[in-house]
Amino acid sequence: MAGLRINFILPDLFFGGGARTVLEHAVNLRRFGHDTVVHIPQHSFPDLGHTLHDLYARVRAYRDRRDFSWYGRDLVRVVPSIDDRFIRDGDVVIATWWRTAFWVDRLSPSKGIKVHFIQGDERVIDPEAAQAWQLPLAKVTVAHWLQESLLHLLQAPVHGPVMNAVNRDLFFQTPVTSERERTVGVQFSTDERKGFEAAREAFGMVQKQRSEIQFVAFGQRLFPRIPPFLRFYYKPRQEELRTIYSRCAVWLVPSTNDSMSLIPLEAASCGCALVATETGEMCRYFKDGESFAQVLMGDPKGMAIALLDLLGNRKKREALARAAEKSAKNVSWERSSRDFETILFNLRRSVSV
């Protein structure tokens, strides 16, 4: 079967989990024989102005370009804007965020079948996302719960789920250091759904009982007020992420609304025991009491108790970590991208009939 010409549309240079998921699929689809390009609008690259904020934005843009180039310099194409002049004709054009769905909807039919790849409940970020979901784009999603929600809301086909996975060439166990025994990690985000404030409060409780415990966090935004007991990594590169995970005995996932973050899969692959809320697909990937310790959403005290329990019980912690690593191996980007490919072929076939 002939390969497809596939155009992914990213909203900006923000190198979060959603962008990394798109890039993993784009790389694999290209490897499967498809002509794949990821388009990013030029406004993601700030002009160099005369203020400190402008300079910071320019540095951030440079770092983001560097991160995206890890997947292949010719994979990502920066265009002045997302319109017919700058998006090549193709078989499929895929919006990857609610805002990009409006852009894709305005494109000519020559750009290909229009698809909205929905990676989370975008409505909690902006109510306008609900309008984006109503656009006449084919829907593909990453999670069972999200597929069910969309089916109920739209009363129309929703394809998938195309499950998230972990890149095992990047995320794997490295030799354990003594520092790891007393280190806990978490993702920093200004997005309230990620639950960072509950995590920070939990860390403070742990710190009061065991002052030797260290805490690390990484994030795609600058941390405005870093607590003295927390070491923060700003916009780490892919290889640096592995190093951060590998320094931690336990990784906390305090999310309150998430489809399925890449972070627990990556942390588990690097040997971390997981303490996590039951959000999104967590219990489809991991099992409470066997491969992760489940805590309630928005419950810092419960999180602190679970962290102290694992930090004080090496045998239990290592058993959870081994089981979590095994569970993370049950999913792969290869299989997930093959599922995506099948959906795209079927959509193309349905239009051709």
User: Quick check: 93 and 104 in contact, CB under 8 A?
Assistant: yes
What is the rounded distance in angstroms from the CA atom of residue 281 to the CA atom of residue 319? 22
pLDDT of 63 strictly over 60 = no
Quote the tokens at residue 175: 């030799």
Could you tell me if residue 319 is inside a domain?
A: yes
Residue 79's Cβ-count burial label (10 Å; 0-12, 13-18, 19+) is middle
User: Which residues constitute the domain of residue 201?
Assistant: 178-328
Instruction: Give pTM, 2 decimals.
Output: 0.88
- Work out the pLDDT band at 57, boundaries 50, 70, 90: very low
Same domain, 21 and 138: yes
Same domain, 257 and 127: no
**Count of other CB atoms within 10 angstroms of residue 203:** 24
Could you tell me if residue 171 is inside a domain?
A: no
Q: Tell me the pLDDT tens digit for each residue of 188-239.
A: 888 788 889 999 999 999 999 999 999 999 988 776 777 788 899 988 888 8
Task: Look over the chain and give the mean of its residue pLDDT values, rounded to a whole number.
Answer: 88
**pLDDT given at position 66:** 54
- Work out the pLDDT band at 47, boundaries 50, 70, 90: very low
- Work out the pLDDT band at 16, boundaries 50, 70, 90: confident
- Work out the pLDDT band at 73, boundaries 50, 70, 90: low
Q: What does the pLDDT average to over 147-153?
A: 93
Could you tell me if residue 129 is inside a domain?
A: yes
The CA-based dihedral angle spanning residues 48, 49, 52, 53, taken in that order and rounded to the nearest 10 degrees: -80
Same domain, 44 and 131: yes
CATH number of the domain enclosing 34: 3.40.50.2000
**Strand order of the sheet with strand 158-159?**
76-79, 35-41, 5-9, 92-95, 113-118, 138-141, 158-159
- Work out the pLDDT band at 69, boundaries 50, 70, 90: low
**pLDDT given at position 353:** 46
**Count of other CB atoms within 10 angstroms of residue 228:** 5
176 to 172, 271, 273, 318, 346: CA distances (angstroms): 12, 9, 13, 12, 46
Count of positions (residues) in the chain = 353
Task: Give the DSSP per-residue string, 165-217.
Answer: ---TTT-------GGGGGEEEEE--SSGGG-HHHHHHHHHHHHHH-TT-EEEE
Same domain, 88 and 219: no
Could you tell me if residue 293 is inside a domain?
A: yes
- Work out the pLDDT band at 44, boundaries 50, 70, 90: low
Could you tell me if residue 251 is inside a domain?
A: yes
What is the rounded distance in angstroms from the CA atom of residue 61 to the CA atom of residue 97? 19
Same domain, 207 and 66: no
Same domain, 131 and 34: yes
Residue 14 CA from chain centroid, whole number:
11
Same domain, 84 and 64: yes
**Distance in Å from the first CA to the final CA of the chain:** 16
Same domain, 98 and 187: no
Could you tell me if residue 173 is inside a domain?
A: no
Of 180 and 57, more confident: 180
Residues 6+ apart with CB under 8 A from 186: 196, 199, 203, 215, 216, 217, 251, 252, 253, 254
Same domain, 143 and 272: no
Number of domains in the chain: 2
Same domain, 94 and 133: yes
Could you tell me if residue 70 is inside a domain?
A: yes
Residue 128 CA from chain centroid, whole number:
21
Same domain, 159 and 194: no
Same domain, 192 and 95: no
Could you tell me if residue 170 is inside a domain?
A: no
Quote the tokens at residue 348: 């193309």
